[in-house]
């Protein structure tokens, strides 16, 4: 098929999947995968192959950069005890467990080890797409694990392929490969992030800023590959660092543009990838002889079950070395391990590793077991997505993990802190920027109203939580009682009162001002001192100064660890919108 036909086909498949998924109440990636499997029954469409270079060089850098950008650096630092063993030792244990099962069922050891390396790492994009129902802390730990475990898998893959091709690998070479992969990948990511920092701080144009951000993951991946390090780790390090420093070196308009365009672009790549995985499964299925399909299906199921068992046992064995949450019971920790086990999805990285296996050896002979590696890897991906994906919501409901309100509490704390800091600095800002008393006092009233609103929302949430707890107790005695959800601070009555006050304020303003008239005609009076244009400019300068003060306090709270990165990013987005509205769209986009 021609490139344009493939593009149209993928676009239509994603459109259909996006429309069907909400109606079927199924995650969109699962629907797209099923559509790809269905399209694979058409012989002409099975000619569409997914080159591993396309996944590694086009899809992964962008998707991993976006996932790293939306990962909390504070959560990563606090979860290192979990992330380091899960992204290294668990990957090795999973690879050897799958290799042992496959060898026992007839796959050559070298090919089985390549298979183990391919299916060992959970995929970050699959976890991000299907794990949104997880509690925030669990979701963030799984994302961080999935972002860093690919380096271990790729080192294992290089060793296994060398053995498969008949090369000799010494322990010293293995040590060198591990060090180069991790240290080289980290160094490449840090270097590219530093270069991006010095470049972005000199830019003001929204277009150039976002174009630079798009280049960062590709440059990081390229440099890491040139030094034979982990391109995946380079992209992750670059994404985490650039996301941390971006609020200080980018503009409000560029951040809003990036927040609007990046999710859509990643969705297109992710959706196309799931459709292509479905087509690839059908292609591999038709290339395997019918006599081998039965045993390969058994190996696929056995490998998938082995991954399940090893992941749960590994978490159980390492639980004494972890730091359990305060007050957590043994039952709760068991349920958390089950949820984490079911959420270990495989995806694009596994398929790219399997497809990267050479077709022939240096002597021109076919590589033994390559078709089995690709078939079993594709099968494990399908099982994790189509079985674990729909199963995960039910498992989360069964686990009854405690509700995590930390993000809500930190959001409210940050809102009160930045509003209070802005009010405290209002007099100094007014003097610094030459603001009249009238404009300053109006800003003070607005500031107090916002602070009161933030306090009211906190009180309303706490009361709603108390009412919800009471309702849960009553529900055990009366089946007809319902659990109360969070009550917004402005209910229907509040909205009406707010609307009445707004209408009354508008009427009072209209009555007091009326039509614009010249109120001074003497040559001795400076009319500009009473000009609405001058007051508007004063208010604009003061509002921008207040926003800058709020940003400083917000970033200090983030730097001190008082609030999470994602909470700070959410509030920063609101401040950016307010700045754009204050400056005007044209000036903000300069």
pLDDT in tens, 520-545: 344 444 444 446 677 778 888 888 99
Q: How many residues are given for the chain?
A: 590
- Residue 522 confidence (pLDDT): 42
pLDDT in tens, 177-228: 888 888 999 999 999 999 999 999 989 899 999 999 999 999 999 999 898 8
CA distances from 187 to 80, 86, 180, 552 (A): 19, 22, 10, 29
The span from the CA of 307 to the CA of 301, in Å, is 10
pLDDT per residue over 458-504, tens digit each?
A: 888 788 878 877 776 776 565 444 443 444 444 444 444 444 443 44
Instruction: Identify whether the C-beta of residue 314 lies closer than 8 Å to the C-beta of residue 90.
Output: yes
Give the pLDDT of residue 290.
79
Distance of CA 395 to the CA centre of its chain: 22
Axis-axis angle for helices 252-287, 28-39 (nearest 10):
40
Element (DSSP H or E) covering residue 161: helix 150-164
Q: Which residue in 432, 397, 386 sits closest to 538, CA to CA?
A: 432
Q: How far is CA 277 from CA 37, 187, 443, in A?
A: 8, 32, 56
CA distance 447 to 555: 20
Long-range contacts of 321-328 (CB under 8 A, 24+ apart): 321/81, 321/85, 322/81, 322/82, 323/81
Contact, 270 vs 256, CB < 8 A? Answer: no
Evaluate whether 247 touches 344 at the Cβ level (below 8 Å). Answer: no
Nearest to 209 by CA among 164, 161, 257, 265: 257
**Tokens of residue 17, six digits:** 């999947």
Listed in sequence order, the residues at least 6 apart from 413 whose beta carbon sits closer than 8 Å to its beta carbon are: 562, 563
| φ and ψ of 82, to 5 deg | -85, -45
Q: For 546-578, how does the pLDDT look when each residue is reduced to its tens digit (9 = 90+)?
A: 999 999 999 999 999 899 999 999 999 999 999
Task: Show the domains of the chain with their CATH numbers.
Answer: 3-399 (1.20.1530.20), 406-451+543-588 (no CATH)
Q: Angle of helix 406-424 relative to helix 532-559, nearest 10 degrees?
A: 130
How much is the pLDDT for 497? 41
Predicted confidence (pLDDT) per residue in 131-150, tens digit = 777 888 888 888 888 888 88
Residues pairing with 366 in the sheet: 360
SS3 360: strand
Residue 504 pLDDT: 44
User: Angle CA(576)–CA(577)–CA(583) in degrees, nearest 5?
Assistant: 85
- Find tokens 């050897």 and name the residue: 96
pTM above 0.75, yes or no: yes
Q: Which three-class secondary structure state does DSSP give residue 240?
A: helix
Packing angle, helices 389-399 and 330-342, rounded to 10: 170
pLDDT digits (tens, 9 = 90+) for 20-52: 988 888 878 888 888 988 888 888 777 777 676
What single-letter DSSP state applies at residue 366? B
Mean pLDDT, rounded, of the chain: 81
């Amino acid at each position: 098929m021609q490139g344009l036909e493939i593009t149209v086909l993928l676009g239509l498949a994603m459109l259909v999947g996006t429309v069907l998924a909400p109606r079927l109440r199924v995650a969109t990636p699962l629907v797209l995968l099923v559509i790809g499997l269905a399209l694979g029954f058409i012989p002409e469409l099975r000619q569409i192959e997914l080159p591993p270079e396309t996944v590694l060089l086009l899809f992964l850098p962008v998707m991993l950069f976006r996932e790293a950008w939306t990962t909390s650096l504070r959560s990563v630092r606090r979860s290192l005890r979990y992330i380091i063993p899960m992204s290294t030792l668990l990957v090795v244990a999973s690879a050897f467990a799958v290799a042992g099962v496959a060898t026992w069922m007839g796959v050559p050891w070298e090919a089985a080890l390549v298979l183990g390396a391919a299916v060992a790492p959970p995929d970050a994009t699959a976890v991000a797409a299907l794990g949104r129902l997880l509690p925030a802390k669990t979701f963030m730990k799984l994302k961080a694990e999935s972002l860093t475990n690919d380096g271990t898998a790729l080192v294992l893959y290089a060793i296994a392929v060398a053995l498969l091709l008949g090369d000799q690998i010494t322990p010293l070479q293995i040590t060198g490969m591990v060090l180069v992969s991790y240290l080289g990948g980290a160094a490449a990511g840090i270097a590219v992030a530093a270069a991006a920092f010095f470049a972005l701080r000199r830019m003001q144009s929204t277009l150039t800023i976002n174009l630079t951000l798009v280049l960062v993951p590709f440059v990081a991946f390229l440099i890491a590959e040139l030094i034979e390090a982990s391109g995946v780790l380079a992209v992750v390090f670059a994404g985490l660092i650039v996301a941390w420093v971006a609020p200080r070196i980018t503009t409000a308009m560029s951040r809003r543009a990036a927040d609007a365009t990046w999710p859509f672009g990643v969705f297109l790549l992710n959706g196309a990838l799931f459709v292509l995985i479905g087509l690839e499964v059908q292609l591999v299925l038709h290339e395997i002889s019918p006599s081998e399909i039965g045993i390969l299906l058994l190996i696929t199921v056995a490998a998938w079950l082995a991954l399940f068992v090893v992941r749960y046992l590994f978490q159980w064995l390492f639980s004494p070395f972890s730091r359990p949450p305060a007050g957590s019971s043994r039952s709760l920790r068991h349920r958390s391990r089950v949820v984490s086990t079911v959420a270990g999805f495989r995806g694009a990285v596994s398929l790219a590793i399997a497809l990267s296996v050479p077709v022939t050896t240096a002597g021109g002979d076919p590589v033994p077991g390559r078709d089995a590696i690709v078939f079993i890897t594709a099968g494990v991906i399908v099982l994790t997505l189509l079985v674990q994906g729909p199963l995960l919501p039910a498992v989360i409901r069964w686990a009854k993990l405690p509700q995590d309100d930390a993000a809500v509490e930190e959001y409210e704390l940050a809102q009160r802190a930045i509003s209070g800091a802005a009010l405290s600095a209002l007099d100094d800002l007014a003097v610094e920027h030459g603001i009249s008393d009238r404009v300053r006092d109006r800003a003070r009233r607005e500031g107090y109203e916002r602070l009161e609103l933030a306090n009211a929302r906190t009180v309303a949430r706490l009361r709603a939580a108390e009412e919800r707890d009471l309702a849960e107790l009553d529900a055990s005695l009366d089946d007809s009682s319902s659990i109360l959800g969070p009550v917004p601070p402005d209910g229907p009555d509040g909205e009406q009162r707010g609307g009445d006050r707004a209408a009354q304020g508008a009427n009072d303003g209209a009555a007091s001002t009326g039509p614009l008239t010249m109120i001074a005609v003497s040559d001795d009076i400076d009319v500009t001192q009473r000009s609405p244009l001058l007051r508007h400019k004063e208010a604009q300068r003061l509002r921008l100064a207040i926003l800058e003060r709020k940003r400083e306090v917000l970033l200090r709270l983030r730097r001190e660890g008082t609030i999470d990165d994602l909470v700070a990013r959410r509030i920063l987005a609101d401040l950016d919108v307010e700045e754009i509205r204050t400056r005007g769209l044209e000036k903000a986009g300069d």
